[in-house]
Structure 1
Amino acid sequence: MRKIAVVLKGYPRLSETFIAQELLGLEKAGFDLSIISMRRPTDKKRHPVHDEIRAPVTYLPEYLYQEPLRVLKALWTSKGKPGFGQAFRTFLKDLLRDPTPNRVRRFGQAAVLCAEWPEGADWIHAHFIHTPASVAAYASLISGIPWSCSAHAKDIWTSPDWDLAGKLAASRWTVTCNLSGFDRLKGLTAGRGGVHLSYHGLDLARFAPFDGLRSGGDGSSAERPVTILSVGRAVEKKGYDVLLKALAQLPAELHWRFIHIGGGAKLSDLKRLTLSLGISDRVTFEGALDQQDVLARYRSSDIFALACRVTADGDRDGLPNVLVEASSQGLVCVSTDVSGVPELLSDGENGFIVPPEDPAAFSAALERLIRDPALRLRLGAAAEQRVRADFDHHTSIRQLRALFEDGWKAA
């Protein structure tokens, strides 16, 4: 059985179920994994899938000064490895372009990884092409062990071209989960190839078809308000300020309620915004929930909404996994034409897509769905059909398995 050291920014994380699902899928496909986490967990809860993953977890020092003896011992041990000199020269070159403590941390973490190498591992795979891939790239140079990468969203769009191009050239292969990210990375490879498109998909056994009944409300009854759900961290790229403004613009006679699931730095700001918009009595913030509770909310809601946007620094979603999850339950979605969203949703066919930063357009889409329960059911059913036909995670696991096996043969 081949063993892979998987470098993650943090583990476990409630917001990264797609990674946990992939790890479990790889284990079921016959791979032995060792998880290398750059940060300790901060979430108070964990998903059931995390308890099914057998891989041991090693936590690197998040800040080098917190474990100085461990870092110094690792540097001394790694210095004796044949690739240390080349790795250090590459690090110095990178440091000139990125003179930050973050860059220094990544080299120190790579040294610790190499000094405490998981026994039997003969491949490194990084999730996210920014900081985890930096650790993987330096560790690969030091150890001589090949590496690969899964790139997603923020890591693609907020990393400079020189950093991405260097990692794409050094890694054996890279996969990404949305077409816009694929096009950006492909354009930086100078025709060398090695970038592959692979949608995460869902473990459809966990997201079995929902055969219950939704409310059927049309917004006319205060006793049966239409429930609008959103799941996502309260961060700028999720566009929750736009979504709340859209809700505030709904006609006064419509009866609805909005439920938000997720933590995030801007949660307090959003709560204050509901007060200033006069909709706080219709909005519930439930905080972070595990996957089973989220699934229950998908099934008890009428509409799913996510107002994705591109932030000033270029950060954006790829293809938000929550849209795929909601669609798998026949829950109609409203979102924006950002990144990979149109790769799942087709406007008017299996959901509604509106421009980002446009509360009025988002509100109009919500109003149409609130007033028309039959339309909600029709579009939700079409979205579920799309997910069950094209977003089964077994497809992505097969793609990854082939890439790993071909990589080992070529190594």
Structure 2
Amino acid sequence: MTNSGSLAVLIPEFPGQTHIFFWREIQALRLDGASVKIISTRAPKTRNFHEFCSEIDETFYLTPLRYFTSILFCLRNPRWFASTLAYCFSLKCSLKLRFRTLLFIPVAANLAAYCTEHSIHHVHVHSSADASHITALASLCKKFTYSVCIHGNLNQYGDNHKAKLSSAKFIVTVTKPLQEEIYSTIPQYPKDRVHVLAMGVDVTKFLPRKYPEILEKQFVITSVSRLVHVKGHKFALQALAQLPSEINFLYQIVGDGELRSELENEVQTLGLNDRVTFLGFQKEGEVYNTLMNTDIFMLTSFGFGEAAPVAIMEAMACGVASICSIIGGTKDMITNQHDGMLVQQKNIHDIKQAVLFLLSDRKRLATIGANARKTAEEKFSHKQSASTLLQYISQNQLA
């Protein structure tokens, strides 16, 4: 980079339950020579999720507002303030939404002031929702540039994406389908500045599990995700309930969320009490230990809730064969029957057949797991992703 101390990463409500991949990126960026500042829109109510949570006290939160700082910045930069008003009133939306965006101006002033105070020349935003509005407004001061990482379909992140993203120096999407969505939504944005880049996994920490020649009789199947409707746990449970009785398996569900009691009832209804266990939320090291004893990993999400699931990357890095819904960019992550299994969303028959395919031949199961590890090394190294991100930032600073 032109200036190793000029980078900030902006993450909404950091740290969150699923934010381990953000922390990996920050660590890798720092190892690559960047002195990265962490900025977040607000602190979460609970932050005791991962090992890194005790180490992020340096995170700067845009809210609650530093009112004096925000007002002073506006007074000292009247042209900037006028340009933010013009930005808000130019939005193609209802008057209510325009007024809502006006409320972001003091927050943007807080961000601009912080970037000025700390000589931050570039902000990389992990959201195309309100955080992008705030950053786009703040960047009108011309004191820093910004880029945006898109993690899901744009319809999940509000509207006015042209306004939020047009001034970004570059856009990163975590899958090719999302890249195509940017092309179609903002056709005037230069295509050579829209990049596909995986968030990644630490392949030196998530090492491949070993398959002994004589494996245990019981197969271990694992899911790691929030217990919410769109993760599709019920389809996995219903498929497993249809397996032949002679197949001895244990299904471990890692994660927590609003759907836990409902899923526990589903387990009881399906008669799977002795075959399913809920392990609750696990930290990174605990997830790794769980994967070391896993034969098959399952993620049966549906809808728009996934793009490039990091949980799949972690399982693949551990040499575990995965069964995954065709959703988001998973077709680019997994080659069916080579390094994993792809199934149609909500298709109980597909899930059942994928499980049977993997369990019918232990050597094949191990081979697919080994192929998954190779894919993870080639495509999902978080260090390589961070290094590439730094190159994009450096190139655009020089442009």
Verify same fold: TM over 0.5: yes
In structure 1, the residue corresponding to 2:277 is in which secondary structure? strand
- Could you tell me which of 261, 280, 285 is aligned with 2:273? 280
- Could you tell me which of 373, 380, 383 is aligned with 1:394? 383
Distance 2:170 2:242 in 1: 47
In structure 2, the residue corresponding to 1:252 is in which secondary structure? coil
Match of 1:21 in 2: 24
Match of 1:220 in 2: none
Match of 1:371 in 2: 360
| Per-residue deviation, 1:73 | 5.5
Match of 2:323 in 1: 334
Match of 1:151 in 2: 150
Match of 2:120 in 1: 121
323-332 or 33-42: which moved more? 33-42
| Per-residue deviation, 1:318 | 0.8
Match of 2:202 in 1: 203
Q: Percent identity?
A: 23
Q: Deviations over 1:230-270 (max 9, x none)?
A: 11112233211221222222223322111111122322322
Q: Deviations over 1:210-242 (max 9, x none)?
A: 34649734xxxxxx4211101111223321122
In structure 2, the residue corresponding to 1:7 is in which secondary structure? strand
Match of 2:161 in 1: 164
Question: Could you list the runs of 4 or more consecutive aligned residues of structure 1 that deviate by over 6 angstroms after TM superposition?
Answer: none
Q: Does 1:269 align with 2:242?
A: no
Q: 1:39–1:59: 8 Å Cα contact kept in structure 2?
A: yes
TM-score after normalising by structure 1: 0.87
- Could you tell me which of 225, 241, 263 is aligned with 1:248? 241
The equivalences for 1:277-356 within 5 A come to 277-310=270-303, 315-356=304-345
Distance 2:165 2:213 in 1: 46
| Per-residue deviation, 1:116 | 4.0
| Per-residue deviation, 1:95 | 8.3
In structure 1, the residue corresponding to 2:274 is in which secondary structure? helix
TM-score after normalising by structure 2: 0.89
In structure 1, the residue corresponding to 2:297 is in which secondary structure? strand
Q: 1:215–1:226: 8 Å Cα contact kept in structure 2?
A: no
Number of aligned residues: 391
Distance 1:106 1:336 in 2: 37
Which residue type is aligned with residue 304 of structure 1? Answer: F
Q: 2:40–2:62: 8 Å Cα contact kept in structure 1?
A: yes
Distance 1:197 1:293 in 2: 30
The equivalences for 1:173-252 within 5 A come to 173-191=170-188, 192-193=190-191, 194-211=193-210, 213=212, 216-217=215-216, 224-252=217-245
Distance 2:214 2:104 in 1: 51
Distance change >3 Å, CA 36–CA 105, structure 1 → 2: farther
Distance 1:75 1:239 in 2: 47
In structure 1, the residue corresponding to 2:36 is in which secondary structure? strand
Which residue type is aligned with residue 81 of structure 2? Answer: F
Distance 1:16 1:266 in 2: 20
Q: 2:221–2:294: 8 Å Cα contact kept in structure 1?
A: yes
Q: 1:302–1:331: 8 Å Cα contact kept in structure 2?
A: yes
Distance 2:141 2:214 in 1: 59
Which residue type is aligned with residue 34 of structure 1? Answer: K
In structure 2, the residue corresponding to 1:207 is in which secondary structure? coil
In structure 2, the residue corresponding to 1:305 is in which secondary structure? strand
| Per-residue deviation, 1:96 | 4.1
- Could you tell me which of 50, 67, 74 is aligned with 2:70? 74
In structure 2, the residue corresponding to 1:280 is in which secondary structure? coil
Distance 1:209 1:330 in 2: 5
Distance 2:20 2:155 in 1: 21
Which residue type is aligned with residue 345 of structure 1? Answer: I
In structure 2, the residue corresponding to 1:274 is in which secondary structure? helix
Which residue type is aligned with residue 285 of structure 1? Answer: F
| Per-residue deviation, 1:127 | 0.7
Distance 1:97 1:347 in 2: 45
Root-mean-square deviation (CA), in Å? 2.5
Distance change >3 Å, CA 329–CA 214, structure 1 → 2: farther
Q: Deviations over 1:315-364 (max 9, x none)?
A: 32111011111011111100111111111211111211111111121112
Consecutive unaligned residues in structure 1, runs of 5 or more: 62-66, 218-223
